Amino acid sequence: MHQFVVQAATESASPLAPNWWEVLVTAVGFAILLFIVVKFVVPAFEKTFAARAEAIEGGIAKAEKAQAEASAALEEYKQQLVEARTEANRIREEARAEGAQILAELKERAAAEAARITEQAHAQIEAERQQALVSLRTEVGSMATTLAGRIVGESLDDDARASRVVDRFLADLEAQNAGAAK
C-alpha cells in the first residue's frame, strides 16, 4: 500500500537573510523613482492643481466683479432716473411759472394798451370838443350878431362893439351854466 506522502520542505537559507544585491538594486531603483517624482511628477501635478484652483478662484472673483459692476450700473441708472424725474418736475414747474408770468405780462400789457387807447380817445374827444367849442363860439357869435342885426335892423358891423356884445353874452351864458352845474 502506497501512502500519500507530503514531503517536508527542505531546509534552506533563512528567508530573513537578504540578498544584498537585491537590496542595492531596490535602493538604486527607488532613488531614481524618488528623484523623478520629486523633480517632475509632483511639481507638475501641484502646478496643475494650483492653476486650477486659481482659475476657479479667478472665475469667482470675475463673477463677483461683474456682479458689483452690474449693481453699480443699476444704482447709477436709478440715480439718473431720479435726477431725470426731478429735472422734469422742475422744468414743468418752471414752465408753469413762466406761463403764469407771460399771462400776467400780457394782461398788464393789454390793460396798458387799453388805458392808452382810452386816454388817446379822451384826448381826441377833448380836442374835438375844444375845436367844436371854438368854432361854435365863432359861428354862434357871427350868427347871433347877424341875427341880432337883422332883428334890430341895424348893422352891427362895428366889429369891436359886436365882439364885446358877444363876449358879454357868452360870459353870462357860461356863468349861468356854471351856476346851473352847481
Partner 1 sequence: MTPLTLPAADNSGTFTPPTLEDLHLPAILPWGADEGFNKQMLLVVLSVVFIAWFFIAASRKQSMVPGKLQFLGEQLYGFVRNGIGKDVIGGRDFMTFVPLLFALFFFILVNNIYGAVPLFQLPTMSHVGGAYFLAGLVYVIWIGVGLKRFGLRYLKLAVVPSGVPWYIMPIVVPIEIISNFIVRPMTHSLRLFATMLAGHLVVALAGSGIAFLVEQENVVLKGLSVFVLVFAVAMYMLEALIMVLQAYVFTLLTAIYIQGAVAADAH
Interface pick for partner 1 out of 25, 81, 82, 115 (rule CB under 8 A): 25
Residue number with CB closer to partner 1 (49 or 77): 49
The reply to whether 63 sits near partner 1 by the rule CB under 8 A is no
Q: Which stretch binds partner 1 (CB under 8 A): 33-41, 100-108, 144-152, 155-163?
A: 33-41
36 near partner 1, rule: CB under 8 A:
yes
Size of the site for partner 1 (CB under 8 A): 42
Angle, helices 42-152 vs 159-181, to 10°: value is 120
Q: How many other CB atoms are there within 10 angstroms of residue 162's CB atom?
A: 19
CB atoms within 10 A of CB 166: 19
Quote the CA–CA distance of 36 and 30 in Å, as a whole number: 10
Whole-number Å distance between alpha carbons of 145 and 159: 10
- Which window, 32-40, 68-76, 82-90, 127-135, contacts partner 1 (CB under 8 A)? 32-40
**Count of residues in the chain:** 182
CA-based torsion, 72, 75, 77, 79: positive or negative: negative
Binding mask 67-86 for partner 1 (x = CB under 8 A): --------------------
CB under 8 Å to 163, separation ≥6 — which residues? 141
41 binds partner 1 (CB under 8 A): yes
Least distance from partner 1 to the Cβ atom of residue 66, Å: 20
- Residues at the contact surface with partner 1, assessed by CB under 8 A: 1-7, 9-10, 12, 15-23, 25-27, 29-30, 32-34, 36-38, 40-42, 44-49, 51-52, 55
